[in-house]
Structure 1
């Protein structure tokens, strides 16, 4: 696996300054959440740093990478190929940056839509992507950042809700994976509240 500093240097060349600042913000937020919840800091560092390593690619290039490396593409992803940057990013992390840990690769793959029953690392990167310090557009961000450090499942649920609300308000297409994930966490948080 490449050293963190080496990956940072490569990403700084590939990403525009705004995306690179976001990347570093997600890395540090992932580490902070990992400290809070007892996750492996090195895994959180690599997953946070590499989560958007394919984001600079065009939709056409993402589709081409999926085809040439036999990565699955849903109908929704074929119509909205930007959704593939997590899957292609996981492939790049493994093949270009030497990451072999399946937990890190999975956290990179699922950081956009999430998925039901995510691992702690997957939840950390998913959440860090939304709340990192450079983000300033989401509603109730200060509250959501506090929530992320007190109840990560509830934070995941709220992020999914806000994402779906935003897409509905904008008239955007909604990836069914996000809806399935939201339903799962809505039920999980309701059950946790009852117990």
Structure 2
């Protein structure tokens, strides 16, 4: 599917190959290979859940665009864009999504808000997530290179009940963070309360 995918909308000024070239230059080979696996999973989920393949492809290819940027780059962008000042208290795990979306917008010229929000939300989730955001959130978590207890279960769930898989991931991520006794980003707690807790 992805090899035949042609970008037809005015979302990115170029082809999929052009975007791949730009993203690959920003990332290590290992990270770039992860990005390609996320795109593959995102396209499978997009097909299942009737989400535009072009949007899924572009969101997946750019979701980690800023992952290997310096802390200085992120702090500069937070100040430049006057983003939430609390962001300075976090780090790359949060920044590469929330702040990275601004870099994707400014450096790659991608202005589509659904794509940018999916990038912003791909590690923390959000209380309100479009199908595209849910797909990227899950594709990043269950791409073919992932191997952790329960991965096969949650892969299957993502194709059966996308929203339930978002809740599964969030609950397991929160459990992992608590086991490590690290601070939890407030947005992750809000995602948990929305998607993981039985109403």
- TM-score of the alignment, normalized to the shorter chain, above 0.5: yes
Q: What does the per-residue CA deviation read over 1:74-127, in whole Å, with 9 as the maximum and x for residues that have no partner?
A: 2xx322221111122211222221212111111111111000121100100011
Tell me if 1:34 matches 2:46. Answer: yes
Which secondary structure does the structure 2 equivalent of 1:171 belong to?
Answer: coil
Q: Which residue of 2 aligns with 1:45?
A: 57
Match 2:159 to one of 135, 149, 156: 149
Structure 1: how far apart are the matches of 2:70 and 2:175? 26
Q: Which residue of 1 aligns with 2:71?
A: 59
- Preserved CA contact (<8 Å) 1:63 1:81: no
- Preserved CA contact (<8 Å) 1:87 1:108: yes
Q: Work out the number of aligned pairs and report it.
A: 186
- Preserved CA contact (<8 Å) 1:60 1:81: no
Q: Which residue of 2 aligns with 1:98?
A: 109
Structure 1: how far apart are the matches of 2:109 and 2:34? 22
**Structure 2, unaligned stretches of length 5 or more?**
1-11
Q: Which residue of 2 aligns with 1:114?
A: 125
TM-score by length of 2: 0.88
Displacement of 1:65 in angstroms is 1.5
Structure 1: how far apart are the matches of 2:45 and 2:192? 21
Tell me if 1:178 matches 2:188. Answer: yes
- Preserved CA contact (<8 Å) 2:74 2:99: yes
- Preserved CA contact (<8 Å) 2:26 2:66: no
Structure 2: how far apart are the matches of 1:168 and 1:143? 22
Q: Which residue of 1 aligns with 2:7?
A: none
Displacement of 1:14 in angstroms is 1.8
Aligned-pair RMSD on alpha carbons? Answer: 1.4
Structure 2: how far apart are the matches of 1:165 and 1:101? 33
Q: Which residue of 2 aligns with 1:158?
A: 168
Tell me if 1:19 matches 2:19. Answer: no
**Structure 1, unaligned stretches of length 5 or more?**
none
Structure 2: how far apart are the matches of 1:4 and 1:56? 21
The 4+ residue runs of structure 1 with deviation greater than 6 A are none
Structure 1: how far apart are the matches of 2:136 and 2:196? 19
Q: Which residue of 2 aligns with 1:123?
A: 134
TM-score by length of 1: 0.90
